[in-house]
Structure 1
Amino acid sequence: MVFFQPLKAAVLAMLLISFASTAADIEYRHAHEDIGTVRQIYDGKLYPDVQVNTFRNIDRLFPTRTVEKGKAVSQLPLSKQPLQDFTYSVDGQSYDLYDVLSMNRVSGLLIIKNAEIVFEKYLLGNAPDTRWMSMSVVKSITATLIGAAIQDGFIRSIDDPIVNYLPRFNGTVYDGVTVKHLLQMSSGVAWNETYTDPASDRRRMLEAQLSQQPDAVLNLMASLPRAAAPGTVWNYSTGETQVAGALVRAATGKPVAQYLSEKIWSKLGMQADANWWLQSAEGLEVGGSGLSATLRDYARLGLFWLHDGVIKTAAHSERVLPEGWMKTASSRQSIGGKTVDYGYMLWPMHGNSYAAEGIFGQYLFVDPDAKLVVAMWSAQSKPLYRAGLNEYRFLQALSEHFQKSNH
């Protein structure tokens, strides 16, 4: 017995090391599925099975950089009052969750109320460890990192000209554009966002990304003409978010994925590493799309926004974003004397609620009034206008349900 206990402890330690090594080497469950191409994604020319495979394997389309998680995983407890018997009406027609999930081709839905899971469902072959593409949801993440850089002092002011940090744009169409203009998409730089038009600026950006040449996208942005004075016209532009990502990289001196990991991902208790598309091998992250993460980790990010950019743990509380940042970032903006239904790369909705949105039906919805977070994946057939049911109306109905029930 004198020697048994130390021996048992040593064997146990070896087993734990072996288990940890094996767990780290476990292959991603979807790694060998057949996938399509990125052009087929934007053209909406993928059959349903291959489309789903592609959306959960987008890290195979471009080089990526890892967004590393931390050591601890934050718990998302199950509510003792799960969502049941939920229905809502539109124009006299009643709908329920079964309708939403099937008609909108939802592949994952997680609803969190008061920091507890009231509904979680994976479909189309997905599972809790599946990673799914964000598409334009990542625009809101890039904007969030600008807020973090301001809080850290890497960016002095939201009203700073971006050329203070990106001198490469001196003398270009972006000379005179401020950080705030970027966040609002009010730079005045001409841009055509039509996904399915091969001649659009959005598709030119995609081709630049496909070329995998360093700075190809930024060179495209610098070559564009001016359509209006900065701060006078709102125009949705994915290209603008590539400039925003370059701003984060230049101001912090760190790769964008690394900064995301250091400020948020490693501290928020994420369950898995994420990965993020690069515009070239070892190059800049794609600021407007290409982050891939698990459903619960998207929801954890939503909780971070709900808490105004404060990370709370048992040991301490850390403010990552300037106080009040999320309220401003999620509010309608006045641009050129007109109120625009857009914040800092977030979409204001009913009341004080807002959403990060991506084509094909990706949503991260936050309602501070109802203390509600909804993470939703979908695989709709085309980039736009293929939702069977209006997602905004569904999310609004969820807010109303929980506010009425005081649940």
Structure 2
Amino acid sequence: MITTRVTAASTLVMTLALTGLVSAAELPYRHADEDIGTVRQVYDGKLYPDIQVNTFRNIDRLFPTRTVSRGETVSVLPVSDQPLQEFSYSVDDQTYDLYDVLAMNRVSGMVIIRDGEILFEKYLLGNDEHTRWMSMSVVKSMTATLIGAAIQDGFIESIDDPIVNYLPRFQGSAYDGVTVRNLLQMSSGVAWNETYTDPTSDRRRMLEAQIGRQPGAVLDLMASLPRAAEPGTVWNYSTGETQLAGALVQAATGKPVAEYLSEKIWSKMGMEADANWWLQSPDGLEVGGSGLSATLRDYARFGLFLLNDGVIEGERVLPDGWIEAASTPKIVGGETVPYGYMLWPLHGRSYAAEGIFGQYVFVDPDKNLVVAMWSAQPKPLYRAGLNEYEFLQALSDFFQ
């Protein structure tokens, strides 16, 4: 029965689009009636493949959301007259091609853009160019980027400001004494267990607080955490830090985080569709570390924004030098950490926003290259068939 409804919706979408009577943004979402799982099943890695895919493209049905509005015009992403062909690479005497990457990593969508032109674009597992797909931790990079925008706009005076200057509710907590820089680098020193599949971990406690949908519950959890080290001395990956990052953006700008994202980036980069973003409670604060859902090309446009050094049509949205600082390794407690401001430095000057289950926005400024990739790997971590970093480096190396 669901197949019939989806097919009917698909037919309607295609018919309306071909007639030109409505824009793509106004079309009904053809996946809206699909059966989906629960958010606990998502994090447990206990969804059968078909239901998992349905869920990943319908995450706006799991929690209340706020719209990230696009602008009035759409930026054209031209298709190259020399598409990517015959790409392959070798690891340990084994040769892999693009078909292997798509199949073995259960990729559900990939677009490769070089010099502003699409070299490759493919949708799988029932997706198409209008499908919205979950970001997971890719959105951490967006939240961190908005902190940069707030600094550029003067809403945040300095990256070295104590966060309690903007979030006074955390005075007297383990976050008292933590700076904006510490938050961006996940070096607050506040104790945190990120294990996705452990129902007793802090990450799952945060998820349960989100499921409860009580205003302020997630931030109350963060305020209750103990200190494990002095700020700036230990790196510890923490989705919890991104909840404070989102709260910081809202408090400093006086605007909902989704609205600020729309104002600074989404409406100006020519995104072709509205996105939506999970809220911690109805009409509440955005979830800073996951839950944004957007089309593949719009994720790629965010990558192009990063590639362009945070400048849109001559207007500087991010401070000069922000992208370089955000995308390079940091020294924390005397050790080099492969993490910037919620971006992952990779080979050369390249870097990526990454999310569990295989979500990527990859940028290589030396090759003028952006890759946006969706996947539906069966578990949150350690289920990629092929190492994504090796694939992305091989792709960079392919372009001389």
Q: TM-score, normalised by structure 1?
A: 0.93
1:272/1:236 CA distance change after superposition, 3 Å: same
Instruction: Please list, as runs of the form range in 1=range in 2, the aligned pairs for 1:314-325 lying within 5 A after superposition.
Output: 317-325=314-322
Which residue is equivalent to 2:8?
A: none
Q: C-alpha deviations, 1:291-342, integer Å up to 9, x for none? A: 0000000000000000110012xxxx21100011100000000111110000
* Distance in 2 separating the partners of 1:68 and 1:190: 36
Instruction: Please list, as runs of the form range in 1=range in 2, the aligned pairs for 1:195-210 lying within 5 A after superposition.
Output: 195-210=196-211
Q: C-alpha deviations, 1:44-101, integer Å up to 9, x for none? A: 0000000000000000000000000000000000112110000000001000000000
Which residue is equivalent to 1:380?
A: 377
* Distance in 2 separating the partners of 1:268 and 1:23: 17
Alpha-carbon shift at residue 139 of structure 1 (Å): 0.2
Which residue is equivalent to 1:269?
A: 270
Which residue is equivalent to 1:390?
A: 387
Which residue is equivalent to 2:327?
A: 330
Identity among equivalent positions (%) equals 80
| Paired letter, 1:346 | L
Q: Which structure has the greater CA radius of gyration?
A: 1
RMSD, aligned CA: 1.2
* Distance in 2 separating the partners of 1:21 and 1:217: 40
* Distance in 1 separating the partners of 2:88 and 2:168: 54
| Paired letter, 1:391 | E
* Distance in 1 separating the partners of 2:290 and 2:95: 34
SS in 1 for 2:118: strand
Which residue is equivalent to 2:127?
A: 126
Which residue is equivalent to 1:170?
A: 171
Conserved in 1, the CA contact under 8 Å of 2:114 and 2:368?
yes
Which residue is equivalent to 2:301?
A: 300
Conserved in 1, the CA contact under 8 Å of 2:24 and 2:273?
no
* Distance in 1 separating the partners of 2:334 and 2:142: 27
* Distance in 1 separating the partners of 2:321 and 2:79: 29
Aligned length: 382
* Distance in 2 separating the partners of 1:45 and 1:115: 39
SS in 2 for 1:284: coil
Show structure 1 runs of 5+ residues with no match: 1-17
Which residue is equivalent to 1:52?
A: 53
SS in 2 for 1:387: coil
Greater mean deviation of Cα atoms: 95-104 or 20-29: 20-29
| Paired letter, 1:277 | W
Alpha-carbon shift at residue 24 of structure 1 (Å): 6.2
Which residue is equivalent to 1:139?
A: 140
* Distance in 1 separating the partners of 2:25 and 2:382: 40
* Distance in 2 separating the partners of 1:259 and 1:27: 26
Instruction: Please list, as runs of the form range in 1=range in 2, the aligned pairs for 1:4-403 lying within 5 A after superposition.
Output: 26-312=27-313, 317-403=314-400
Alpha-carbon shift at residue 26 of structure 1 (Å): 2.9
* Distance in 2 separating the partners of 1:86 and 1:27: 36
| Paired letter, 1:78 | V
* Distance in 1 separating the partners of 2:22 and 2:92: 56
* Distance in 2 separating the partners of 1:216 and 1:236: 21
| Paired letter, 1:148 | A
SS in 2 for 1:377: strand
1:179/1:197 CA distance change after superposition, 3 Å: same
* Distance in 1 separating the partners of 2:98 and 2:73: 33
| Paired letter, 1:358 | G
Which residue is equivalent to 2:7?
A: none
* Distance in 1 separating the partners of 2:109 and 2:354: 15
* Distance in 2 separating the partners of 1:188 and 1:22: 48
| Paired letter, 1:213 | Q
Show structure 2 runs of 5+ residues with no match: 1-18
* Distance in 1 separating the partners of 2:267 and 2:395: 30
Q: TM-score, normalised by structure 2?
A: 0.94
